């Protein structure tokens, strides 16, 4: 059976401690045996007895000495466990534990006082006294993160003192190696959700779900529900680093019995110690050999048991006490290396990276025992590949993993003007997440010369940040990003006034720097920032001397060197030169004018452009159209990128020339915006008046159209949202007409020809009725209905208006011809009747103005019983026309029309 790195060979190391070579070597193992599934299912007593029995059988290891193991309980509460720690004196010559990192420092001090050895996998700080010479799990994690280039990592811990302390300790250890680890998030039992910002890799400090850890199950299922698995998040279990996770021919029922958990676990990247023999197989073999007398199934025991028994059994090979020897120990096919001549390396084991394949785990990468050395060792891919269900998380810059670059810390030396120590207090706000509510005091080392530089167009230099192994610049935040970002934003409209304002800000900032005797050396559009007021501020000034003082060497990206002057490309000068800054300014002019990247119009790779810049002729310069900027500005740009540095103007001369381009006007974006607002406001009234006139025209068109569809009084009421009530009209005259033989004409015509016929005929009728005081009610097929006295009352004139209109229609129909049947005459018959009606609007969608009453029925019957080319009128209409004494002549025709009143038909009506 096998043990983890934190137990493997610890007895060998402890045997070298002065004073342990007594008749009986006593070892005390401190652990939270009842606090967590990882420990409660490890059977520590059986593991200790198994280790002792194997030690006693191997004379090469026992050397005639006796060994005894004492198991001590570590309380689940960190505060109570700390008080009990002082009562454990005298139980052993060496102690293994405690496992809670919060107790490490106190245990180290007690071990020194008791003059005993101390080893614990929970203590990750290798600089503390009495801690074991084994590789901390944090270094293994760092190697894995370095291989995948994952720097921004979150840590989520179970809500117990043990795992919360482990998470905090792990975060501190990774920060000490230069990684920007955020605050440790603790899962709350009352809230299964959690909140992670700007990271895609999560380290889980809790017991694995594969050994019964419910917290990890809840976390993974919550992550699945929140879409984190499909979004590319990767989860790394920390507890698997402490033992060899059994994977050979092992089906995990937790994954086999839950489709959701199996899907969520596909995003888990397991890092565990390598073992050629499965723990379950080794446990069953020990049961068969009656070394373990428990009848518990192997799958019910945590692999941690294997590590505990091997804690005291790892003595199969000779252990040399000198600090320069290197011995390989083998036990059950596991190899552990010891090398004490390199600080912090010590005992090391081989590790594996496991991926999920359904309900099994398969190895995807191997980690050699030399992994802890920063220059050698690393992951080696195996036959299986790790499949990222949501895509591989993005890679971070390698500077986080390279101590020689600016992302990590270094020793500070004196700089021009000296350094000062200052403090920055960062207060949280009410909008920050709950686990971010804290107050930090951050230390900065501030170069005095740079701190004294205050100018409107220089970004405020706060200082240098040095904390948790992170070295960074602290500057004023500019919300609009860099000049390069502003130029690349296609939604940002920049006229020449805006562009000249930005360039003038840059000129004034560089003029101030040069007057103070400081060249920039790295001037480019990416380190020209724009604040909320569109004021350009130069940043990164003085950065070359800071990097030089820390012996940092940034990698030279050809794309980043496109702003560099040719003479500095041929022979670099630390800190640059004044003439080199002028050349960089000319390239920025090209960017601002054309809103393109440097040399973008040349369509060449960056390294080829740099070679042409180094070795003229011909000169390699950007091409800018003459109509994109004033000629004076283009001329100034050509002067600034002159191949001879001595012929380039100074920024004082550039300032004078550029001010002349704007004819002395102060180029400021805010002033330009105010002028634009004034100009816009002056034109706004004319624009409003013009739009108002157009609106009035459209409104009149709309009212005219509505007036053609509905009576004006009805349309006004509907526009105001008022209900249109039915109205009674006591005196009115109705007109009905239709086409004789329309059915026959329709049968001989195409539908479109019928439509054209009716349109031509009724257009003629509409022109006639426009000259009379009548209202067209509707047309239905070939029927045409008109009323007078409705909706506008006109006394008794309604009969005369309709009669005159009927005579005009009858006169005009004689000349009407059908386009597709010119030989056929259109014959119409007309019927008139006078009386009372009720009018009202029917419906809300496409409302219709309708007339109701016997008068409508009688007028329709008058038309239906009439003759072609005749106006058939009722007795009521005759009486009204006669009373008017306007000279109408009528011929009488006996006819019976279904009506309450006795009526007469008249064949002919004329004046």
Reading the block at residue 868, the tokens are 């072609």
Which strands make up the sheet holding 348-349, listed edge to edge?
328-331, 334-337, 348-349
Q: Is the pLDDT of residue 908 over 80?
A: no
Q: Is the pLDDT of residue 712 over 90?
A: no
Please, how many CA atoms are within 13 Å of residue 88, restricted to the half-sphere of its CB? 29
Q: Is the pLDDT of residue 456 over 50?
A: yes
Query: How crowded is residue 892: how many other Cβ atoms within 10 Å of its Cβ?
Result: 11
Q: Which residue has the higher pLDDT, 102 or 225?
A: 225
Read off the pLDDT of each residue in 257-281 and give the average, rounded to a whole number. Answer: 83
The confidence score (pLDDT) of residue 417 equals: 38
Q: Which residue has the higher pLDDT, 5 or 504?
A: 504
| Most confident stretch, 153-162, 457-466, 831-840 | 831-840
Q: How many helices (H) and strands (E) does the chain have?
A: 29, 29
Spatial CB neighbours of 120, under 8 Å, sequence gap ≥ 6? 6, 96, 97, 98, 99, 104, 107, 131, 132
Q: Which residue has the higher pLDDT, 770 or 715?
A: 770
Reading the block at residue 471, the tokens are 């070295």
Please state at what angle helix 161-176 crosses helix 137-148, rounded to 10 degrees.
60
Q: Which residue has the higher pLDDT, 129 or 582?
A: 582
pLDDT class of 668 with cuts at 50, 70, 90:
low
pLDDT digits (tens, 9 = 90+) for 6-23: 443 454 444 444 444 446
Query: How far apart are the C-alpha atoms of 183 and 172, rounded to whole Å?
Result: 10
Read off the pLDDT of each residue in 398-426 and give the average, rounded to a whole number. Answer: 45
The confidence score (pLDDT) of residue 664 equals: 56
3-state SS, residue 32 = coil
Q: Is the pLDDT of residue 444 over 50?
A: no
Q: What domains lie within the chain, and their CATH numbers?
A: 10-135+278-323 (3.40.50.2300), 137-275+350-399 (3.40.50.2300), 401-475 (no CATH), 496-671 (1.10.510.10), 723-910 (3.30.70.1230)
Poorest-pLDDT segment among 64-68, 198-202, 295-299, 581-585: 295-299
Q: Is the pLDDT of residue 303 over 60?
A: no
- DSSP symbols for 280-291: HHHHHHHHHTTS
Q: Which residue has the higher pLDDT, 790 or 335?
A: 790
pLDDT digits (tens, 9 = 90+) for 750-762: 999 999 999 999 9
| Most confident stretch, 318-327, 344-353, 730-739 | 730-739
The confidence score (pLDDT) of residue 886 equals: 87
pLDDT class of 635 with cuts at 50, 70, 90:
very high
pLDDT digits (tens, 9 = 90+) for 541-591: 888 877 776 667 777 788 999 999 999 999 998 889 999 999 999 999 999
The confidence score (pLDDT) of residue 329 equals: 28
Question: Parallel, antiparallel, or unpaired: how do β-strands 66-73 and 24-31 relate?
Answer: parallel
Read off the pLDDT of each residue in 302-313 and give the average, rounded to a whole number. Answer: 43
pLDDT class of 902 with cuts at 50, 70, 90:
very low
Q: Is the pTM of this model over 0.75?
A: no
Spatial CB neighbours of 682, under 8 Å, sequence gap ≥ 6? none
Read off the pLDDT of each residue in 484-506 and give the average, rounded to a whole number. Answer: 88
The confidence score (pLDDT) of residue 397 equals: 76
pLDDT digits (tens, 9 = 90+) for 85-100: 878 887 877 888 787 8
Burial zone of 881 (CB within 10 Å; 0-12 exposed, 13-18 middle, 19+ buried): buried
Segments of 152-283 assigned E as strands: 153-157, 184-186, 201-205, 234-237, 270-273
The confidence score (pLDDT) of residue 407 equals: 54
Q: What's the DSSP call for residue 168?
A: H
Spatial CB neighbours of 74, under 8 Å, sequence gap ≥ 6? 30, 31, 32, 33, 35, 81, 84, 97, 98, 99, 100, 103
pLDDT class of 851 with cuts at 50, 70, 90:
very high
Segments of 431-503 assigned E as strands: 439-447, 461-467, 470-475
The confidence score (pLDDT) of residue 316 equals: 32
The confidence score (pLDDT) of residue 910 equals: 55
Q: Is the pLDDT of residue 60 over 70?
A: no
Q: Among candidates 830, 771, 776, which has minimal Cα distance to 801? A: 771
Spatial CB neighbours of 602, under 8 Å, sequence gap ≥ 6? 609, 620, 622, 623
Read off the pLDDT of each residue in 812-830 and give the average, rounded to a whole number. Answer: 90
How high is the mean pLDDT of the chain?
A: 77
3-state SS, residue 408 = strand
Q: Is the pLDDT of residue 313 over 50?
A: no
Read off the pLDDT of each residue in 602-629 and give the average, rounded to a whole number. Answer: 89
Poorest-pLDDT segment among 432-436, 662-666, 778-782, 792-796: 432-436
The confidence score (pLDDT) of residue 294 equals: 60
245 with 272: CB under 8 angstroms? yes
Spatial CB neighbours of 363, under 8 Å, sequence gap ≥ 6? 247, 352, 353, 354, 355, 382, 384
Poorest-pLDDT segment among 53-57, 287-291, 677-681: 287-291
């Amino acid at each position: 059976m096998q043990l983890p790195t934190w137990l493997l060979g610890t007895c060998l190391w402890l045997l070298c401690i002065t004073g342990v070579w007594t008749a009986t070597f006593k070892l005390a193992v401190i652990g939270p045996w009842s606090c967590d599934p990882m420990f409660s299912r490890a059977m520590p007593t059986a593991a200790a007895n198994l280790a002792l029995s194997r030690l006693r059988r191997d004379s090469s290891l026992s050397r005639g000495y006796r060994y005894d193991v004492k198991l001590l309980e570590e309380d689940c509460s960190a505060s109570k466990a700390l008080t009990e720690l002082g009562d454990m004196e005298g139980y052993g010559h060496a102690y293994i534990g405690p496992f809670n990192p919060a107790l490490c420092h106190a245990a180290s001090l007690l071990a020194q006082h008791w003059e005993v050895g101390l080893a614990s996998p929970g203590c990750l700080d290798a600089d503390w006294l009495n801690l074991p010479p084994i590789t901390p799990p944090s270094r293994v994690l760092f190697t894995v993160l370095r291989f995948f280039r994952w720097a921004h990592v979150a840590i989520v811990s179970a809500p117990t003192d043990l795992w919360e302390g482990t998470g905090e300790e792990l975060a501190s250890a990774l920060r000490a190696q230069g990684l920007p680890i955020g605050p440790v998030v603790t899962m709350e039992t009352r809230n299964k959700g959690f909140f992670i910002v700007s990271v895609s890799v999560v380290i889980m400090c809790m017991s694995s779900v594969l050994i019964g850890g419910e917290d990890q199950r809840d976390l993974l299922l919550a992550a699945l529900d929140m879409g984190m698995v499909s979004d590319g998040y990767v989860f790394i279990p920390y507890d698997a680093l402490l033992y060899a996770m059994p994977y050979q021919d092992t089906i995990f029922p937790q994954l086999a019995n839950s489709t959701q958990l199996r899907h969520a676990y596909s995003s888990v990247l397991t890092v565990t110690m390598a073992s050629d023999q499965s723990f379950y197989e080794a446990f069953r073999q020990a049961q068969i050999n009656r070394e373990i007398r428990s009848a518990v199934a192997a799958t019910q025991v945590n692999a941690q048991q294997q590590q505990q028994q091997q804690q005291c059994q790892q003595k199969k090979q000779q252990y040399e006490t000198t600090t320069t020897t290197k011995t390989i120990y083998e036990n059950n096919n596991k190899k552990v290396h010891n090398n004490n001549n390199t600080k912090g390396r010590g005992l090391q084991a081989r590790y594996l990276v496991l991926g999920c394949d359904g309900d099994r785990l398969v190895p995807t990468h191997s980690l050699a025992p030399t992994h802890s050395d920063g220059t050698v060792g690393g992951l080696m891919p195996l036959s299986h590949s790790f499949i990222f269900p949501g895509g591989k998380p993005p890679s971070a810059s390698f500077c986080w993993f390279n101590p020689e670059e600016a992302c990590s810390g270094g020793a500070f030396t004196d700089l021009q003007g000296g350094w000062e120590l200052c403090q920055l207090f960062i207060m949280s706000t009410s909008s920050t997440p709950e686990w971010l509510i804290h107050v930090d005091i951050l230390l900065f080392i501030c170069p005095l010369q740079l701190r004294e530089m205050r100018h409107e167009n220089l970004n405020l230099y706060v200082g240098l940040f040095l904390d948790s192994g992170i070295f960074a610049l602290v500057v004023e935040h500019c919300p609009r990003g860099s000049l390069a970002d502003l130029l690349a934003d296609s939604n940002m409209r920049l006229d020449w006034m805006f562009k000249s304002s930005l360039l003038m800000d840059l000129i004034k900032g560089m003029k101030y720097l040069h007057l103070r005797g400081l060249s920039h050396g790295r001037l480019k559009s990416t380190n020209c920032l724009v604040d909320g007021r569109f004021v350009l501020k130069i940043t990164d000034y003085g950065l070359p001397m800071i990097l030089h003082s820390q012996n940092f060497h940034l990698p030279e990206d050809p794309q980043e060197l496109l702003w560099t002057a040719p003479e500095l490309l041929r022979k670099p000068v630390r800190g640059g030169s004044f003439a080199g800054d002028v050349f960089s300014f000319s390239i920025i002019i090209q960017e601002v004018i054309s809103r393109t990247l440097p040399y973008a119009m040349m369509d060449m790779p960056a390294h080829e452009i740099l070679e042409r810049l180094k070795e003229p002729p011909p000169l390699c310069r950007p091409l800018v159209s003459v109509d994109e900027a004033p000629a004076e500005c283009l001329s100034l740009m050509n002067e600034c990128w002159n191949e001879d540095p001595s012929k380039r103007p100074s920024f004082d001369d550039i300032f004078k020339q550029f001010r002349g381009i704007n004819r002395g006007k102060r180029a400021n974006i805010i002033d330009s915006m105010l002028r634009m607002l004034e100009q816009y406001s002056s034109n706004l009234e004319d624009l409003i008046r013009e739009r108002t006139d157009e609106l009035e025209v459209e409104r009149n068109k709309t009212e005219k159209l509505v007036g053609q569809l509905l009576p004006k009084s009805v349309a006004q009421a509907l526009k105001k949202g008022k209900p249109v009530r039915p109205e009674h009209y006591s005196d009115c005259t109705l007109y009905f007409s239709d086409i004789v033989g329309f059915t026959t004409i329709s049968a001989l015509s195409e539908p479109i020809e019928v439509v054209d016929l009716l349109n031509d005929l009724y257009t003629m009728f509409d022109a006639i009725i426009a000259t009379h005081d009548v209202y067209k009610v509707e047309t239905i097929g070939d029927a045409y209905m008109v009323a007078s006295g409705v909706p506008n009352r006109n006394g008794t004139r309604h009969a005369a208006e309709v009669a005159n209109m009927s005579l005009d229609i009858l006169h005009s129909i004689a000349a009407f011809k059908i386009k597709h049947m010119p030989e056929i005459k259109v014959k119409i018959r007309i019927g008139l009747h006078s009386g009372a009606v009720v009018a009202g609007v029917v419906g809300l969608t496409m409302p219709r103005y309708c007339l109701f009453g016997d008068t409508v029925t009688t007028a329709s019957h008058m038309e239906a019983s009439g003759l072609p080319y005749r106006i058939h009128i009722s007795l009521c209409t005759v009486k009204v026309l006669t009373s008017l004494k306007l000279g109408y002549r009528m011929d009488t025709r006996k006819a019976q029309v279904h009506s309450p009143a006795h009526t007469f038909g008249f064949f002919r009506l004329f004046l």
